[in-house]
A = this chain, B = another copy of it.
Amino acid sequence: MTAEPATRLDVSDSRARLDTLQALVRDELLRVNGVIVEQMESPVELIPQLASHLVAAGGKRIRPILTLISARMCGYRGDRHVNLAACVEFIHTATLLHDDVVDASDLRRGRQTANALWGNKAPVLVGDFLFSRAFQLMVRDGSLDVLRILSSAAAVIAEGEVLQLLTANDSATSEADYFRMIEGKTAKLFEAAAEVGAVVAGRTPADVQALADYGRSIGVAFQLIDDALDYSAEEEALGKTVGDDFADGKVTLPVVLAMAEAGCEERAFWHRVIEDGVQGEDDLATAIGYLTRHGAIRATIRRAEAYGERARRSLDRFGPSPERAAMLDLVDFCIERAY
């Protein structure tokens, strides 16, 4: 790998692309929000309070958009996809609440995290509540296929999260370990979200599989870019602190790649900051320097592009439509985004 200039992604471009995507499903997305607000309700006021803190903060809503657009591209004209998109977002939100507790994060989507505001106890329990609500909504929908897909996804996500815990501070983490982890913790829900859209539309197993592949591929691409951004983004656009992964000792692909190329001195550095977790003020800058020297950020982005290409190819079997075009745009967004 060769030296690379600092990678800068254009915020306004990726924001515009996301806006276009959201516009295509605006009405349905509003109804998804309605379902979310309605289903967060509880006589225990802290539950909607805490949940709405995270939900109101916005987020990109990529996962529910996947369900909505996938269903529409598959010719679905009913209402079920709206509720199921809300289920997907609920599972995602529950995961975020638990993640932030596990990571002891302070900032998410440009706001203080629920655990920073309420401590660790309530977010664990409210996460459980949202997770249960997602299943109640699915049961009301009544499709055992959908329930199977999303309950399996939830188990795989939890496995991926545990893997992340195990690879943290472990400089022996391999590329294979890394991909196994992100396929679980991130890509599985993207996969399930797109798959469910094809299932409600009653498409053939081959079409369902193609959309599952599409979702998984952009999920992997999305996480690769996320991990690149943690070392290269503008903090304001990102809505969270740059260098969070580094501070947590998480071994993401940029670090795996840079460690593979490291000489003696660099190896000692990575051992200290990742394995021993001993970090000083300048260490993030030093790490970014090493990543840049070995082209690790650029190589990570290239992997994301390859997964993006795989996602695009999964859509080959579907005829042209505004939804298909939007799903191709979504691939570009996942790769070019700056937040």
Given contacts A120-B101, A124-B101, A131-B128, contact A136 B148 (CB under 8 A): yes
Given contacts A132-B154, A162-B47, contact A124 B102 (CB under 8 A): yes
Assembly CA distance A166 to B102 (angstroms): 22
Instruction: Annotate A110-137 by CB proximity to B: 1 below 8 A, 0 otherwise.
Output: 0000000000111011111101110110
Residues of B within 8 A of A163 (CB): 44
Assembly CA distance A127 to B154 (angstroms): 11
| Neighbour of A162 across the interface among B94, B125, B136, CB < 8 A | B125
Stretch touching chain B among A6-14, A74-82, A139-147, A233-241: A139-147
Residues of B within 8 A of A132 (CB): 151-152, 154-155, 157-158
Determine whether A46 belongs to the interface, using a CB cutoff of 8 Å to chain B. yes
Residues of B within 8 A of A43 (CB): 159
State which residues 19-56 of A face B: CB under 8 Å: 42-44, 46-47
| Docked-complex contact A125 and B148, CB < 8 angstroms | no
Residues of B within 8 A of A98 (CB): 124-125, 128
Assembly CA distance A124 to B136 (angstroms): 21
Determine whether A227 belongs to the interface, using a CB cutoff of 8 Å to chain B. no
Residues of B within 8 A of A159 (CB): 42-44, 47, 129
A-B contact sample (6 more), CB < 8 A, given A43-B159, A121-B165, A136-B155? A44-B162, A47-B162, A122-B162, A125-B162, A125-B165, A132-B158
Closest 3 CB pairs of A and B: A129-B158, A132-B154, A132-B155
Question: Could you pull out 26 A-B pairs where Cβ atoms are within 8 angstroms?
Answer: A42-B159, A43-B159, A47-B159, A95-B128, A98-B125, A98-B128, A101-B124, A102-B120, A102-B124, A122-B162, A125-B158, A126-B162, A128-B131, A128-B157, A129-B155, A129-B158, A129-B159, A129-B162, A132-B151, A135-B135, A136-B155, A139-B147, A140-B148, A142-B144, A144-B144, A147-B147
